[in-house]
Amino acid sequence: MSTPRDLLNAAKSEIREIDPHEVAARLDHYTLLDVREPDEHEQGAVPGAVHVARGNLEFSIEGRLPDKNAPIAVYCAGGVRSAFAAKTLQDLGYTDVVSIIGGFNKWKDEGLAWDTPRTMTQDQRIRYHRHLLLPEVGESGQMRLLDSKVLLLGAG
C-alpha cells in the first residue's frame, strides 16, 4: 500500500519542477495557475495568476485554460498540491506544465512580486454563484460587472 509520501514522490518523478526566479524572469512566457484554496488566494497571489482550487481542477481547468499547449506554471502554498496538480494536468493532455518549487511561500520569501487580489465577498459569491460557474463570466467577469456604472433595462 502506498503512503502519501510515495504518491508525492511518484508524481514528482513524472513532472518538471522549476525555481520561482525562473518563472518570475519569464512571466510573459508562462500562464500562472494558483491551485490553493480560495481563502489562501485572498491573502495574496502572484499578479495575473489564474485561480482554480485544487479540488475543482479536473472539472474546471479546460474552461479556464483551454490551450493545452500553452506553458503553465502551477503553484500552491508549499509545492505539494502543485506537484499533484501538474501531474493531473499532464494526464489531462496539457503538454507544457511545471510546478513551482516551494510554492507561493517561497515566492514571497524570495521577495518576488505579489499582491492581495480583489475578491468578492461571501454574500456576493452566494448571490452570483451561477455567473461564477460560467467560464465566459467567472469571478473576473463578475467583478467587472460589479464595477460597471451603467444599467440597461429591456422591455419586451
Residue 73 falls inside a structural domain = yes
Residues 6 or more apart in contact with residue 57 via CB below 8 angstroms: 35, 85, 88, 89
Q: Which domain holds residue 86?
A: 4-113
Query: How confident is the model over 52-91, as pLDDT tens digits?
Result: 999 999 999 998 899 999 999 999 999 999 999 999 999 9
CATH number of the domain that residue 21 is part of: 3.40.250.10
Mark whether 76 is an active-site residue: yes
Does residue 109 share a domain with residue 122?
A: no
User: Grid coordinates in use for 31?
Assistant: 500562464
Instruction: List, in order, residues 6 or more apart from 17 with CB less than 8 Å away.
Output: 79, 83, 98, 99, 100, 101
- Maximum separation of any 2 CA atoms in the chain, in Å: 64
List the catalytic residue out of 15, 46, 49, 76: 76
- 103, amino acid identity: G
| Tens of pLDDT, residue by residue, the chain (156 residues) | 999 999 999 999 999 999 999 999 999 999 999 999 988 998 999 999 999 999 999 999 998 899 999 999 999 999 999 999 999 999 999 999 999 999 999 999 999 999 998 877 888 888 888 888 777 787 778 888 888 887 677 776
Q: What are phi and psi of 122, to 5 degrees?
A: -60, -40
Q: What strands lie across the sheet with 72-75, from one edge to the other?
A: 16-18, 97-100, 72-75, 31-34, 50-51
Shared domain for 65 and 126, answered yes or no, is: no
156 domain-assigned: no
94 & 34 share domain:
yes
What is the three-class DSSP state of 57? helix
3-state SS assignment for residue 79 = coil
**Cα–Cα distance list, 105 to 44, 51, 62, 137 (Å):** 10, 16, 27, 30
